[in-house]
Amino acid sequence: EDPKKLAEFEARIARGEKIEPKDWMPKLYRKQLIRMIEQHGHSEIIGALPEGTWITRAPGFKRKLALMAKVQDEVGHAQLLYGAAETLGKSREQMIQDLITGKSKYSNIFNYPTFTWADSCFISWLVDAGAIVNQLANARGSYGPYCRALDRICAEESFHLKYGHHCVIHLATGTPKQREMMQEAVNRWWAPMMHFFGPSDKISTHTEILTKWKVKMATNDECRQQFLDMYVPKIWELGLTIPDENLKRNEQTGEWEFTEPDWEEFKRVINGDGPCNKERLAVRRTAEERGAWVRRALASKTKGEEYVAPM
Ligand code: FAQ
């Protein structure tokens, strides 16, 4: 890289200026942003699947409506994020291709099954809560299009959080069977939730450069700590327990202590070998194939050709 341009770029970041698509940027900044925004987009679109299967089975019409709106929002977030990643030069088609061929990653947490309604409630409250902690921090970052997408996403996620919290309160204060169902969901989802914020700072690959260039405005451990600080008391308040006997807040340091997450399981899951990875990608692949004729039709229409849809 040209050292003068790099110095100017870093000075702009230090002044808190936003970098815009046409501005000069180091190749690595572009590459890292594409990787991160694309993975984020994929997580939203795949994240719609475990909850989406509950739309028809959500208890009551109001819950069905709210969940349908939430899932639709998540897919909209993927659109916003793909749009932000496209400004850096990677096409949407290529991103989708890399998702369905397993080349790109997406969040570990959506590779676990939603066996019960309570699993869906856990996602709506606590996975959204975790996502907000990360997104609120990074919305103050350096790349303009990503920050603007995150601002809008956070506004919508705040509704999801309220909806999810409401659903969990309902179960946690309901009949013994409902409470048991919610507790079992917490037990199943706690480990993936701890993984969700990424590997600990000691072993994270990209944190250093991303923090230096203000793409990541909080490290993985900082986000995990903030999540624990904000949500563990709320979970306990509902009479639910958390399946980690070492989890406690150290009153001296103010930090949460917990059992070191199993990073081997994390690696397996993010590299394609979790309980639902194959199913998730198969669903996306089918959606892609079924939608191909619509995209062909749109493309031929813009070229002024007649298109006959398959019967
Ligand atoms: N899952 O060096 P680091 C949502 C990978 S949105 C899978 O620490 P980095 C909304 C990482 O890519 C949820 N892979 O990486 C919703 C890297 O692999 P690579 C998603 C993970 O980038 C709610 C390697 O491990 N949010 O939930 C994960 O500095 C409800 C080394 O890791 C975002 O994507 C993981 N959890 O930090 C939707 C936010 N963690 O690429 C529906 C934007 C790490 O070298 C329902 N992303 N890896 O092969 C970020 O903030 C960051 O990318 C982190 C990871 C924090 C995820």
| Closest residue by CA, ligand 1 atom 42 | 47
In a domain, 226, yes or no: yes
CATH number at residue 66: 1.20.1260.10
Pocket test for ligand 1, best of 34, 36, 42 (most atoms within 8 A of CB): 36
Report whether 56 contacts 122 (CB < 8 A).
Answer: no
In a domain, 136, yes or no: yes
Cα(196)–Cα(213) distance, rounded to whole angstroms? 22
Report whether 189 contacts 122 (CB < 8 A).
Answer: yes
Report which ligand 1 atom has the smallest distance to the Cα of 195. Answer: 36
Report whether 199 contacts 266 (CB < 8 A).
Answer: yes
Residue type, 175: T
Structure confidence at residue 153 (pLDDT): 97
How many Å separate Cα 126 from the centre of its chain? 12
Compute, in angstroms, the gap from residue 263 CA to the centroid of ligand 1: 14
In a domain, 193, yes or no: yes
- Domain with 137 in it: 3-267+275-288
Number of domains in the chain: 1
Report which ligand 1 atom has the smallest distance to the Cα of 32. Answer: 22
**295, 298, 297, 300: which is closest to 93 by C-alpha?**
295
For the chain, which residues score pLDDT lower than 50?
A: none
In a domain, 305, yes or no: no
In a domain, 295, yes or no: no
**Phi, psi for residue 243 in degrees, rounded to 5:** -75, 60
In a domain, 236, yes or no: yes
Beta strands in the chain (DSSP E): 248-249, 256-257
Pocket test for ligand 1, best of 81, 119, 140, 206 (most atoms within 8 A of CB): 206
Compute, in angstroms, the gap from residue 131 CA to the centroid of ligand 1: 10
| Closest residue by CA, ligand 1 atom 50 | 36
User: Between the CA atoms of 107, 111, 113 and 119, what dihedral angle is there, to the nearest 10 degrees?
Assistant: -10
Pocket test for ligand 1, best of 28, 39, 79, 128 (most atoms within 8 A of CB): 39
Tokens matching residue 196: 């969700």
Cα(193)–Cα(18) distance, rounded to whole angstroms? 31
Structure confidence at residue 299 (pLDDT): 87
120 lines ligand 1 (CB under 6 A): no
44 lines ligand 1 (CB under 6 A): yes
Compute, in angstroms, the gap from residue 107 CA to the centroid of ligand 1: 6
* pLDDT, tens digit, 9 for 90 and up, residues 258-274: 999 999 999 999 999 99
78 lines ligand 1 (CB under 6 A): no
Report which ligand 1 atom has the smallest distance to the Cα of 37. Answer: 43
Structure confidence at residue 311 (pLDDT): 62
In a domain, 221, yes or no: yes
| Alpha-carbon distance values, 285 to 27, 112, 197, 217 (Å) | 31, 18, 27, 34
Interface predicted TM-score (ipTM) = 0.99
In a domain, 299, yes or no: no
134 lines ligand 1 (CB under 6 A): yes
